[in-house]
Structure formats: structure tokens, C-alpha cells
Amino acid sequence: MTPPLKKNGSIYVQVEPLKSIVTETFKHNGCSPEEASRIAVRLSGANLRGHDSHGVIRVPRYVDYLKEGKQIAGVTAEIITESDILAVIDGKFGFGQTVGEQAVDIGIKKAKANGIAITALQNAGHLGRIGDWAERAAAADLVSIHMVNVRGSLIVAPFGGIDRRMSTSPFCAGIPLNDGDDPIILDMATSVVAEGKALVALKGGKPLPDDAIVTESGDVTGDPKPLYGDTKQGDFPNPSNGPGALRAFGNHKGSGLNFLMEMMAGALTGSGCAGTLSEPQRRFCNGMFSMYFSPNAFGHSENSFVTEVKAYVEFLKSSRPTEAGGEILIPGEKEKQVMAERLKSGLPLAPEAWEDIVKTARDSGMRQSDIDLILHS
């Protein structure tokens, strides 16, 4: 096993030992071996695909959530309203990697039986990379759409505004290519960047775009510090503490899409929107409104849907690139490229982020000698 390497200002850690350290960290914090492994696989998988914002950088925060009771280990989600094609599901503040998977499997089962299905997941812990859930549905040959909000996370300003009134509210969709090819996955926050990307930048990783943040005075900046404010020595940065806010992408268009996520994933699911005037500080959770579709239910023959999808992809990619040597990419294609590269080179982590992960493991009860053994065995 290749030990961590420092290169170009980053620490490169191979995925398998990193998963082992994360798994042991959550086992030491009361998670079952199965749940701890599930969390580690999902977080490291986000890093593998280039979604560092939803990867292992979140380990310290997840442990804090667990200790504070914001997320609960070992939860089984409960169906509270159900029909043949609908399920309203209470995640009971369980880890999103657990109750999210349970909710998606309910939607898959109903869609396979009835052609279409809708699930409304409320009160889930942080669901991680939403593309995981679209990939899971695509593996069952289902098209899926997922709308997510973050109750209790006021970190995005609406278009034309300064004050925080929204969450990052991601949107995701998956298209299966059930002939052995990887599915097409669109997975994006409705803010300029996800909060985790601001955290990555704050920890010394990839910088933010120049228009990602609005300060308390209304100025636009790429500096992540206004989102977090001052952080005491030894504390983990909290985006709820800063005077600034993330901005919605695409100005009024992204702000409008963000609003729709709040309506569907927050209001309609019963999970609750990011905040209200009477209750600006709500308990943190994710809501997720998901739709599942079997192409066969729409009258497609065995291959007609995939054939049409591939024909359009070919047509789209035939567009001439604006830059010499450029390439037209479809949703999810960049992630596949990054994954192939990182499986060879390891996962690049900012030194401070790596130190936070190791410190969290030690603080959870792992001995440094055991961490070193995992990294070098």
C-alpha cells in the first residue's frame, strides 16, 4: 500500500486505507460496522468522483453532529404514508447514508412494480453526494429525479439579497444506460458552489469562483471567510457563524430553482423549509423529494430508450468546442475521468483537511500507531 504522499501542496491518500480510517472512526463513535463502512464508502466515493465538498472533509462535522445528537446512528426509516406509487418516509435524523439508501430502495421497489414511484423523505441526516442515489436507481434501470433541501441551514442569499434565506438545495437526475455503460448523472447545488467547496477552499484546497460569496455589505467575493466568520483554535468551521452568504448560481434562474427545491423537498415532503421568520433556527436535516420512472412503462421496447439517449449524446458531443483541443462533456463524464485518475494517484486532500481527519480519528479513540499501520500496510 502506498503511504500518503505530499505533492503540489496536497496530501495524496489511497482510497482503501482512507476508507478503513473513516470506518474505524465511526465505529469508535457508536456506529455499527455496517453503517460505519457505508458512511466511509459514500464519503470516499464522493472524493473519487471529484466531489470533495461531500467527501471525507465532512468526517469531523459528522462526528460533531453525532455527539450533538443532530444525527443518530443505527436508525431505520419509517414509512408514515403509503400507496402503490407513493411513500412518505421519516428518516428520524438518521445518517443520510443509511436512511437515504433505505428511502431510495423503497422508491426503486415501487417503480419496478408499478412503472413510476414518488418518495418524500423527511428528517434525514446529511445525505451526502446526491448522485449516489441516482446511480443506485440507474443500476435498477430506472430514470430518477431528486430534489433536496437543507432545513436549518441558512447559508445562501436569494437573488438581489444579502441576508441568508436559503440552503444550497441540490438537484440531481440520473439516466440509466442499461447495456453496461455508466449512467448519465447530473448532480449540482443551486448555489454557485456547494458549502463543502467553500470549506475545501477555506482549508487550503481549490479556490472559489470570484462570484461565490456575498459579504454583509453586499460585495461579491471568492473569499470563503465571510461565510464562516472567525473560528476558534481547535473548533471546526461552521458556515452558520459567518456574516456573509453563498450566492445562487445563474442569478435569478438559480435562485428560482433553489426556491423550487425548498417547495418540493421542504414544504411538500413535510420536512420543512430552510427557515421561517417565526422559526429562523430550525433543527438541521435534509428533505428529499424523489421520482422514479421505468422506461418500459412509457412504451419503450427493450433498447429504444437507451438508443435514443445515446443518439442524442453523440449529436451533442459533435458540437465544435470553443477552445482548440476542447471536448464537449455530458453530465457525469467529468466525474468518470476524475475517478479513473484518482484510483491511480490517490485522493488529494488539503494538508489541513487531512490533519482534521487524523485528529478526529485520534480523538475518537484510535491510536496513532493503528492509523500508521493502516496507512502503511
Neighbours of 356 (CB within 10 A): 20
CATH number at residue 365: 1.10.1530.10
pLDDT of the residue at 143:
98
Query: 199 near 225, Cβ under 8 Å?
Result: no
Residues 64 and 82 in one domain: no
In sequence order, the 6+-apart residues with CB closer than 8 A to the CB of 84 are: 110, 113, 114
DSSP 264: I
Q: Could you tell me the residue range of the domain that residue 45 belongs to? A: 5-68+348-376
Domain end call among 274, 298, 322: 298
Residues 87 and 20 in one domain: no
Q: How far apart are CA 285 and CA 90, in angstroms?
A: 11
Residues 112 and 223 in one domain: yes
Q: How far apart are CA 134 and CA 335, in angstroms?
A: 14
Residues 37 and 171 in one domain: no
31 within domain boundaries: yes
Residues 117 and 170 in one domain: yes
From residue 282, alpha-carbon distances to 61, 75, 241, 324, 352 in Å are: 18, 21, 15, 50, 30
Domain end call among 298, 315, 340: 298
Neighbours of 23 (CB within 10 A): 22
From residue 154, alpha-carbon distances to 77, 128, 238, 333, 374 in Å are: 25, 18, 12, 31, 38
Q: How far apart are CA 173 and CA 143, in angstroms?
A: 8
pLDDT of the residue at 301:
83
Residues 31 and 154 in one domain: no
Instruction: Kindly provide the b/e burial profile for residues 218-230, where b requires at least 16 CB atoms within 10 angstroms of the residue's own CB.
Output: eeebebbbbbbee
The pLDDT profile of the chain, 377 residues, written as one tens digit per residue, is: 677 888 888 999 999 999 999 999 999 999 999 999 999 999 999 999 999 999 999 999 999 999 999 999 999 999 999 999 999 999 999 999 999 999 999 999 999 999 999 999 999 999 999 999 999 999 999 999 999 999 999 999 999 999 999 999 999 999 999 777 899 999 999 999 989 899 989 988 889 999 999 999 999 999 999 999 998 887 889 998 999 999 999 999 999 999 999 999 999 999 999 999 999 889 999 999 999 999 999 999 878 999 999 999 999 999 999 999 999 999 999 999 999 999 999 999 999 999 999 999 999 999 999 999 999 98
Residues 166 and 202 in one domain: yes
Count of domains for the chain: 2
In sequence order, the 6+-apart residues with CB closer than 8 A to the CB of 344 are: none
303 within domain boundaries: no
Single pTM value for the model: 0.94
Neighbours of 195 (CB within 10 A): 22
Pairing assessment for the beta strands 213-214 and 220-221 based on DSSP bridges: antiparallel
Which of 319, 274, 309 is CA-nearest to residue 155? Answer: 274
- Report CA torsion sign: 140, 171, 56, 62: negative
Residues 29 and 159 in one domain: no
Residues 223 and 273 in one domain: yes
158 within domain boundaries: yes
Residues 146 and 276 in one domain: yes
Give the strand order in the sheet containing 184-188. Answer: 78-82, 86-90, 116-124, 285-293, 143-151, 171-175, 184-188
Taking CB atoms within 8 Å and a gap of at least 24, the contacts of 339-343 are 339/48, 339/49, 339/50, 342/15, 342/47, 342/48, 342/50, 343/15, 343/48
Residues 61 and 87 in one domain: no
- Report CA torsion sign: 249, 316, 325, 49: positive
198 within domain boundaries: yes
One-letter amino acid of 40: A
Q: How far apart are CA 78 and CA 85, in angstroms?
A: 16
139 within domain boundaries: yes
Residues 83 and 151 in one domain: yes
Domain end call among 236, 266, 298: 298
342 within domain boundaries: no
Three-state DSSP class for residue 94: strand
pLDDT of the residue at 1:
61
